[in-house]
Structure 1
Amino acid sequence: MLKKLLALFIILSLNAPYASARVGTPSFNFEIAENPASQNTDNKDSGLSGGAVTAITLGSIGGAGLLGLGAFLLRRQAEKNLAAGTIIGARKPICPICLDKNPNAQIYERINKNYPYLKKALSLNEIHYCPNSKYILVYDTSIDKRKFDLIKFYIPPKTKSLKITHVTDPFEEGDISTELYMYKKNQSNPSESAMLKGESNKQNGIIIKTTSSDISQYESASYIISNYASKKTYAVVIELIAE
């Protein structure tokens, strides 16, 4: 656990020069809270400006700290006999960020050197500038058998659609599933499961999906990865598109 927290600290420190605070917030900050009873780490972000460039690293956590996801989602995952793995944004959804189109930017140098899954996911995307597109980046993360990982994030105003690029190890039909649940303002339970369309390349471990209808009425969303087979590593790029 100490090694994982140290790795998280290093990554957040490296990203600090690119992060700026939202108006009214004195400083950019991540709070890392640990629940000793469950060995749970809940990573909460206090808000990023549209110009911030950073990413969220998901660590291996226990099943506690799920407040804010809604009873519906927890019941649904329990019915599948899945235990909680990595949970990010349960108490406060994370904010999407802007990315640099310059392929030589420092953030890409770090990703290319240290995170092959995220590097591959980014290579499948054409980066667009804010405000047309904002992004959620999930660094290379492991998920155990019969676990589900979840990342809850804000949907910026005027967002019309989103694209999810999920890169993992080669898989077979039924090994993994990915879902997106949408929340309207002040709702604890999701309004509905988003209609996603797309394709997968199981041999190369690639899943690419987009929303099939306007999502501008929603304030936040939960992206869920369910793993029914052997332990896997994955990375995700979520693009939130205003046009």
Structure 2
Amino acid sequence: MKTALITGASSGIGREFAEIFAKEGYQVILASRNEEKLKAIAQSLRQHYPTTTIVIPVDLAQSNGPQLLYDALKKEAIEIDVLINNAGIGSYGFLHEQNIQTELEMIQLNVHSLSHLMMLFLQDMVKRNTGRILNVGSTTSFYACPLSANYSASKAFVLHLTEAVANELKGTGVSVTALCPGATGTEFFRNAKMEKQKVAKDNAVMDAKKVAEIGFQALNKRKTFVVPGFLNWLLAQAPRLFPRRIVTNITRNVLEQKL
């Protein structure tokens, strides 16, 4: 039985990935800091699918989180065939008005921990000549986003890291894919305090299950990146079609619009 490790598995896209891999017969490792939610999800997966589930509560917003997660799996001699690097958070507002510690924790989670986990698990995958990693980026991976400055910068890191490492891994049997969704029906907007923005409106977001399915397909095809949804794909092309300054102004106007 192959094993998939999913970070940020307690809700949203991560929760949907857990469902997909359980249905596909994988052993599923659920990682998040919300142990209670993880246990409930694990129980549900075991009831509905022929899967084994393991819960590992860990705070990846802390610098030692990735190593603790890796060591916990090593202790149990569990090899990871697929890593879904999904854990991440956002923020909203002018950078100079943000809580510095909160922003630094977001950067730790979105950038440092994601990269740290990749480095840890890639070593094992390359030695075995097999393995797949999916990193969850964003459509903001493709352009600067005022009012979510650190968030969009962190997601640009995710895409650039993925593209570079995908090239490095040629001929190894290991692949890495970036999933770059637009607005998605998750807890993201509430956690980022963006519920009143138009971008969070129900008819403007994609279903998290659909996003995860597209990501799963791209992972299996070993694509370097995928942008779910035609409109989101068009947004990702904007920096190629217009001056970057204009694209930045547009993204700010979109985020400023309220319901």
State TM-score, norm by structure 1: 0.27
Richer in strand (by share) = 1
Q: Which is helix-richer, 1 or 2? A: 2
Greater C-alpha Rg: 2
TM-score (structure 2 length as normaliser): 0.26
